[in-house]
Chains A and B, each alone.
Chain A
Amino acid sequence: MWLQLLVNAFSLGSFYALIALGFALIFGVTHAFNLAHGELIILSGYLAYSLNVGLGVPFWGVFPPCMLVLMALMAALHGLLRLVKEPFELNSLVLTFGLALVLQNLMLWGFGADYKLLAAGGSAFNPSWLPVTVTRTQLVLIVLSLVGTAAVYLLLTRTYLGKALRATIQQREAARLAGIQVQRMSLAAFGMGGLLIGLAGPLFGRNAYLHPAGGTEATLIAIIITIFAGVGKIRGILIGGWLLGLVESFTAWLVGGSWRELVSAVILIVLLLKWPQGVLTGNRTRTLP
């Protein structure tokens, strides 16, 4: 019973982490607040649906096209955001807000208002030595979140590109002085963010449902986990996602689903008060007069 709850909580948390990864990477490197994030995930989901249900492409086969298309779209978005002038963070926020509305409507026209699902095929796993059921989707979510986080983390720490990205995250101006092409880094971040968004789309369609108006919740989750984890802290995304999943599931179990948001909010606030720079940054808090 508890074990099943735990499994479900980790699966949910992994789902949240995967949704947030793309947003966190883009925000960390470019400080672009992409409010159209959720809509882009849904778009990727719709693309997966068209391929999977419309053309009969097997589930694993939809990932490459979705990831590539979203990478291209994010590169285009990067181009658009380059036209945005100071103040960049706020203007990008409001601009992507407008874009989100445009995307929602386009998806409504293009794909209709009916709710769509990507069928969750395959049998679940019932290990005889544990009284739990782990569905294929859950396994995929947990594995992919670990793989995705590890991939991004390794990219950021072990490769030259990653080091350049981290430098851009930490100190933009200094990075420029060090010879790093900041604009290229932004483009790289957007591109990689696109890959991660493309990855999250089909999973969204399988684990939840697809609807033009469904992006808002995904954006919200991405924002919450990104800020909670601290800017640029990729491992924090996974921890944050898992924490949110655990808190929600156990609250729903103990006191009922209608208290989920309140408990999550209180815990979030408490943790923010303790670590205002993000949960994994330790004691680097700014003291105030």
Chain B
Amino acid sequence: MAAGRADRKPNANAAVSSGTRSIDLLPSAGVLLLLLGWPPVAAPADIYLRVFGLACFYGALALAWNLVALTGLLSLGHAAFFGMGAYGAALADHYWQLPPFAAIGIGAILGAAYGGLWMATFRRLRGAAFALATLASVEIPKVIIDNWDAFTFGSLGVVGISRLPTLDLGGRVLDFGTSLTAQYYLLLLFLVVVGGFHFAALHSRWGWAIRAVREDETAAAALGVNVPAVRAQALLLSALLTALGGGLYAHLMGLIEPPLVFSLHLSALPLVLTIFGGRYRAFGPVLGALVLYPADQLLFHRWLPSGHALLYGLVIVIALLFCPRGIAAWLSWNRRSAWKSKTSG
């Protein structure tokens, strides 16, 4: 039976066979082990830790975005969550001097609240209308924050945001504020947490419900799937995690301004990374981030200081032409063909 399925023309919605989870699990674990073990082995200079840390960060953002995409809705407004998370954390830090992780928590809750607003307002929207509505919804908090000089400092932005704290965990001192190694592992942890949710959204019972909603809402409802609940769970989770990322970013950078944290680029980047990396693979978006971001910052900027965007764009174009299902699918293809030959041979 598995052989029969493997013979069928592969569709874009990932293999139906039960082999999917193992197809994803092994490479995901491999990537994770690599990310965990590389710093102690290679003892890299700070620049590599910084760039790969941020690559993990953007990978996490892409995974969080993909949670909503997996339910069949393409959001172009995730920057709204990011920005609210960033400003929530920054203002909590500025006005109440909350410890950074608590401030980030507040930012995350604000982002999730805005996600709840989306749920309530955009319930009946689908497809292009949903995309446009989410795109427009970024402007609302952005403009309010930009104009509310008295509270948010408006266009000046919030400066002097506290660094991440130094934690003492059982004798081991982790200086998240200044040690790039500690920051790298923190961002990796963020990636793992988001990645865990993303993996579940693909390969669990909940994941099956999500997939049913994505492929045919009406049929899913007929089968007894609580469509609004599934959508709400994915969206709120996605909003929470993205806002968490925003708060982290605020503390890492030390300063934020409205056009930075509500930028269109932040809305588009997860989409680009996910499609480039592979939509239906657990580690697809991460791969996109881990390949593109370091390549851009460490290689393209070096080779062509004023033309790096050209290389970035070319890489995307070429990858899309040759790996339409993302480079992760290309990596997995080798395994699938091995599986095919094993079962048919």
Which A positions have Cβ atoms within 8 angstroms of B?
83-87, 90-91, 93-95, 97-102, 104-106, 108-109, 216, 220, 223-224, 227-228, 231, 258-259, 261-262, 264-266, 268-269, 272-273, 276-278, 285-286, 288-289
Contacts and interface: CB of A to CB of B under 8 A. Distances in A.
B220 to A, nearest CB: 9
Interface-centre pick from B124, B218, B221 (highest chain A CB count, 10 A): B124
Interface string B75-112: 00000000000000000000000000000000000000
B321 A95 contact: yes
A262 B272 contact: no
A83 B310 CA distance: 21
Given A101-B310, A108-B306, A273 B136 contact: no
22 contacts: A91-B275, A91-B324, A93-B275, A95-B316, A97-B272, A101-B310, A102-B310, A102-B314, A102-B317, A104-B309, A224-B135, A264-B136, A265-B143, A266-B136, A266-B140, A269-B121, A269-B137, A272-B132, A272-B136, A273-B133, A288-B123, A289-B217
B128 A231 contact: yes
Contact of B324 (A86, A262, A269, A272): A86
Is the contact region of chain A dominated by helix, strand, or loop, or is it mixed?
A: helix
Interface residues of B, number: 48
Contact of A265 (B129, B136, B221, B272): B136
A84 B143 contact: no
B320 A272 contact: no
Nearest to A216: B264
Contacts of A105: 306-307, 309-310, 313
Contact of A101 (B121, B313, B320): B313
A109 B317 CA distance: 20
Contact of B128 (A227, A265, A266): A227
B142 interface: yes
A106 B310 CA distance: 8
Given A87-B12, A224-B135, A93 B312 contact: no
B131 interface: yes
A276 B129 contact: yes
Contact of A258 (B147, B264, B313): B147
Given A262-B143, A289-B227, A98 B315 contact: yes
Contacts of B218: 289
B331 interface: no
Nearest to B306: A108
A129 to B, nearest CB: 39
A276 B124 contact: yes
Contacts of A228: 132
Given A227-B128, A265-B138, A272-B136, 17 more contacts: A84-B320, A85-B324, A98-B315, A98-B316, A101-B312, A102-B309, A109-B306, A224-B136, A258-B146, A258-B147, A259-B143, A259-B147, A272-B132, A276-B125, A277-B129, A286-B126, A288-B126
A94 B306 CA distance: 22
A275 to B, nearest CB: 9
Contacts of B143: 258-259, 261-262, 265
A216 B265 CA distance: 10
B175 interface: no
A285 B124 CA distance: 10
Interface in B121-166: 121-126, 128-129, 131-133, 135-140, 142-144, 146-147
A262 B140 contact: yes
B275 A94 contact: yes
A264 B129 CA distance: 15
B276 interface: yes
Contact of B268 (A86, A97, A265, A266): A97
Interface in B289-317: 306-307, 309-310, 312-317
B307 A109 contact: yes
Nearest to A88: B324
B201 interface: no
A97 B128 CA distance: 17
Contacts of B306: 105, 108-109
B132 A98 contact: no
